[in-house]
Structure 1
Amino acid sequence: MDNRKEKLLTMVIESYIKNAEPIGSKFLVSFGDLDFSEATVRNELRALEEEGFLTHPHTSAGRIPTEKGYRYYVDQLNLEKSHISKNDYKTLTDSLSEDIDYELSIKNLAKAAVELSNETVIIAFSAEKVYYTGLSNLFHKSEFGDLAVVANISHVFDNCEDYVEDLFAKVEDSPRYFIGSENPFDEMLSVVSARFGKEGMIALLGPKRMDYKYNFGLIKKLLEIM
């Protein structure tokens, strides 16, 4: 992909992550500080759609990223440089207490991560012992407003252990993203996950338009603390 297309794809994805609204050429020209015309932007967006990186809802002339688009975007990010602020790190460490047992401490850490990311966190102490928190965050996102979608996601979490076992087989010690159909939970979700301890796993779940940079940095800090 050439630099111009990559720049436009990045702008569309990062704008969509922030606003959850289809992105049109006028918006990109108005706010993107571009050195080429709106007609050029339209042509490039059309090309990105033809190549499978973008699509557009029937009700809108704007574009939204596809799974292929998100995967390309994530693969271009220097995720190892992702980080969270000192205040966010303090929120994580303040959730810990020396006078409670290990599992409860990890659960409190997961709740703090939910508060910071506005996503859902799953902790698997083993493939059979699973805890999750922040599910309501998913249902407050615009992608999950449809009743059938809510029912499907709820079914996934009702059978969470089965899905966690599938993910467990793919997860490594270092954080890794599973976007859309790459994860066993649901193709509407993205997941960043890693192992911890002897047989533990942590996973952060959200819509495909999640904040990939921040969430990767958050998972890295969680692993350091855990």
Structure 2
Amino acid sequence: MTFGGFVLNTTADMKLNTRQKQVLKTIVEEYVKHSLPVGSAHVVEMLPFSVSSATIRGDMVELTESGHLAQPHTSAGRIPTEAGFKDYIETMLYEHKELSLRQQEVLSTHFKRLKNLQERFKEAARMLSELSGSVGLLMDDANQIYMSGLSKLPQLPEFRDEEFGADFMELLENPAESFKALMKQTSSQPQVVLGKTSMVVTKFGPGGRQVISVIGPMRMSYGKTLPAVEYIAKILNQDF
């Protein structure tokens, strides 16, 4: 199995070496966890190999100049940009991490207990929200929306950003229209749509007329979300 691709515009075109990819990976994952700029000293501590702080500072300067990182304040560390998230996700897709066998077994057993299709759809949205920490949505072929995780929104630091909040609420007010547009451009494999409001989305069912998605800020745990969306879609496909 392989994941799908991106709907994304970005200007960064620097080819990263192995160390720079690891530096970017570390900064992205620490930023996803803590929503704070990441300094070079912390990166050195987190790297799985020994390297000098000066070398890492140099890498971070290059990654900033290339558009992969941004420095929100003069004295602060770095945060990943949209281009930084894109390169991080591309590397992760190449490695193609899946849910653990234990997680797959738990999900499969859980869904087998739900005989009603509507119950399974509701539970799919709930499980996606739980696994991702964001909003889980499912739209069936009658444009019925199943949604879970709205209560998580006020807890997100990004929700204080008026633009993010407005975009998110606009999408949630009419998700059917958003999904209709996405269905014209997404494959049957999970896709990443990056922006202030980001999505991991895939189609399932006969003719790919049904959609499941996780919607959240760009600072999303893609390492958890992508394999969760893929595996739950696989489970739901067994109903058809």
Q: Which bracket does the TM-score occupy, shorter chain normalised?
A: 0.7 to 0.9
Residue aligning to 2:82: 67
Residue aligning to 1:2: 17
Question: In the alignment, is the contact (CA less than 8 A) between 2:124 and 2:138 conserved in 1?
Answer: no
Matched, 1:196 2:204: yes
Instruction: Classify 1:191/1:63 alpha carbon distance in 2 versus 1 (closer, same or farther; 3 Å).
Output: same
Instruction: Classify 1:14/1:7 alpha carbon distance in 2 versus 1 (closer, same or farther; 3 Å).
Output: same
Instruction: Tell me which amino acid in the other structure corresponds to 2:102.
Output: K
3-state SS of 1:205 partner: strand
Q: Percent identity?
A: 28
Superposition RMSD on alpha carbons, in Å? 2.3
Deviation at residue 24 of structure 1 after TM alignment: 0.7
Q: Could you tell me how far apart the structure 2 residues matched to 1:214 and 1:208 are?
A: 14
Q: Could you tell me how far apart the structure 2 residues matched to 1:208 and 1:91 are?
A: 26
Deviation at residue 93 of structure 1 after TM alignment: 3.8
Residue aligning to 1:38: 53
Instruction: Tell me which amino acid in the other structure corresponds to 2:205.
Output: G
Q: Could you tell me how far apart the structure 2 residues matched to 1:220 and 1:161 are?
A: 20
3-state SS of 1:128 partner: coil
Instruction: Tell me which amino acid in the other structure corresponds to 1:197.
Output: G
3-state SS of 1:81 partner: coil
TM-score by length of 2: 0.81
Residue aligning to 2:122: 107
Once the two structures are superposed, what CA deviation does each residue of 1:201-223 show, in whole Å capped at 9, x if it has no partner? 11112222212122111112202
Question: In the alignment, is the contact (CA less than 8 A) between 1:67 and 1:179 conserved in 2?
Answer: yes
Residue aligning to 2:33: 18
Q: Could you tell me how far apart the structure 2 residues matched to 1:120 and 1:74 are?
A: 20
Once the two structures are superposed, what CA deviation does each residue of 1:58-78 show, in whole Å capped at 9, x if it has no partner? 375110000101111111113
Once the two structures are superposed, what CA deviation does each residue of 1:173-216 show, in whole Å capped at 9, x if it has no partner? 11122222xxxxxxx12211111112111111222221212211
Residue aligning to 1:208: 218
Instruction: Classify 1:148/1:54 alpha carbon distance in 2 versus 1 (closer, same or farther; 3 Å).
Output: closer
Structure number with greater CO (CA < 8 Å, separation at least 6) is 2
Judge which range, 52-61 or 68-77, deviates more: 52-61
Instruction: Tell me which amino acid in the other structure corresponds to 2:79.
Output: I
How many residues end up aligned between the 2 structures?
A: 218
Question: In the alignment, is the contact (CA less than 8 A) between 2:131 and 2:224 conserved in 1?
Answer: no
Residue aligning to 1:222: 232
Question: In the alignment, is the contact (CA less than 8 A) between 2:168 and 2:197 conserved in 1?
Answer: no
TM-score by length of 1: 0.85
3-state SS of 1:195 partner: strand
Deviation at residue 126 of structure 1 after TM alignment: 2.6
Residue aligning to 2:110: 94
